[in-house]
Amino acid sequence: MSTPYAKLPAWADYGLIPVINLFVAFVVAGFVVVLVGENPFRAAVILVQGAFGKGTGIAFTLFYATTFIFSGLSVAVAAHCGLFNIGGEGQGYIAGLGIGVVCLAFDSVLPWWLTFPLAIVAAAAMGALWALIPAYLQARRGSHIVITTIMFNFIAASVMVYALVGFLKPLGSMAPQTRTFLDGAQLPKLNWVIELFGAKIRSAPLNVCFLLALLMAFLVWLLIWRTRLGYEMRTYGHSAKAARYAGISETRIVIIAMMISGALAGMMALNPTMGDQHNVALDFVSGAGFVGIAVALMGRLHPVGIVLAAILFGMLYQGGAELAFEMPAISRDMIVIIQGLVILFAGALEHMFRPYIQALFASISPKTVGIEAVKGKGA
Residue list 20-59, contact with another protein (CB under 8 A): 32, 35-37
DSSP 1-64: ---SSPPPPHHIIIIIHHHHHHHHHHHHHHHHHHHTT--HHHHHHHHHHHHHTSHHHHHHHHHH
**Residue number, 79 or 119, with CB nearest to another protein:** 79
Q: Which residues ranging from 296 to 325 are in contact with another protein (CB under 8 A)? A: 297
**What is residue 271's DSSP assignment?**
I
**Residue number, 117 or 366, with CB nearest to another protein:** 366
Specify the stretch interacting with another protein by CB under 8 A; choose among 123-131, 196-204, 255-263, 336-344.
Answer: 336-344
Question: Contact with another protein (CB under 8 A): which of 23, 41, 113, 162?
Answer: 162
DSSP 332-379: THHHHHHHHHHIIIIIITTTSSHHHHHHHHHHH-HHHHHHHHHHHH--
Please state the closest distance from residue 186 (CB atom) to another protein, in A: 29
Please state the closest distance from residue 260 (CB atom) to another protein, in A: 14
Left if phi > 0, otherwise alpha if psi is -120 to 50, otherwise beta: which for 172? left
Count the Cβ atoms, other than its own, within 10 Å of residue 191: 23
Question: Contact with another protein (CB under 8 A): which of 31, 174, 247, 363?
Answer: 247
Please state the closest distance from residue 38 (CB atom) to another protein, in A: 9
286 binds another protein (CB under 8 A): no
Specify the stretch interacting with another protein by CB under 8 A; choose among 57-65, 147-155, 299-307, 309-317.
Answer: 147-155
**What is residue 188's DSSP assignment?**
P
Q: Which residues ranging from 118 to 137 are in contact with another protein (CB under 8 A)? A: 133, 137
Please state the closest distance from residue 45 (CB atom) to another protein, in A: 19
Q: Which residues ranging from 174 to 233 are in contact with another protein (CB under 8 A)? A: 222, 226-228, 231-232
Q: Which residues ranging from 346 to 375 are in contact with another protein (CB under 8 A)? A: 347-352, 370, 372-375
Q: Hey, what's the torsion of the CAs at 266, 273, 58, 21, to 10 degrees?
A: 40
Please state the closest distance from residue 31 (CB atom) to another protein, in A: 11
**Residue number, 192 or 225, with CB nearest to another protein:** 225
Question: Contact with another protein (CB under 8 A): which of 41, 113, 144, 173?
Answer: 144
Please state the closest distance from residue 112 (CB atom) to another protein, in A: 30
Confirm if 203 and 195 have CB atoms less than 8 A apart. Answer: no
**What is residue 274's DSSP assignment?**
I
CA 320 to chain centre: 18
Please state the closest distance from residue 156 (CB atom) to another protein, in A: 9
Confirm if 111 and 184 have CB atoms less than 8 A apart. Answer: yes
Q: Which residues ranging from 102 to 121 are in contact with another protein (CB under 8 A)? A: none
Backbone angles phi, psi at 332, to 5 degrees: -65, -15
Side-chain half-sphere of 90: how many Cα atoms within 13 Å?
24
Judged by CB under 8 A, the number of residues near another protein is: 79
Please state the closest distance from residue 114 (CB atom) to another protein, in A: 27
